[in-house]
Amino acid sequence: MKLPNSVKIAGQSVKIKRGKLEDAYGQYEHDSRVIWISNLIKDERIIITTLRHEILEASLLISGVGWMEKYEQEAVVRCVDEIFWVAWESLKLQ
């Protein structure tokens, strides 16, 4: 499956790369703004699910919600509604 090279999340460009990961299907590196998807995954459904998971991780961290000591429900809902779904739907993978 050919993945996009990047995704815009809250106006920031986050690169999407395939590579070797140990003990994980995917990983988001906040400092470098890179989502890694394991190149060992061959099942397209798992690749898409993993990418969606990592975009949500990135959305939470970029929005600041991921850095809160205590999660407030409204902050999480707004992040998912206004940042995550916009980024996910822009990829047009489904």
pLDDT tens-digit profile of 15-49? 999 999 989 999 999 999 999 999 999 999 999 99
Find where tokens 């990135």 sit: 58
pLDDT band at residue 5 under the 50/70/90 scheme: very high
Task: Identify the H or E element spanning 12.
Answer: strand 12-19
Whether residue 12 is contained in a domain is answered as yes
> What CATH number is given to the structural domain containing 84?
3.30.2010
- pTM for the model stands at 0.88
3-state secondary structure 27-65: EEECCCCEEEEECCCCCHHHHHHHHHHHHHHHHHHHHCH
pLDDT tens-digit profile of 52-84? 999 999 999 999 988 988 888 888 888 998 999
The count of domains in the chain is 1
Whether residue 69 is contained in a domain is answered as yes
Whether residue 1 is contained in a domain is answered as no
Residue 28 belongs to domain spanning: 6-90
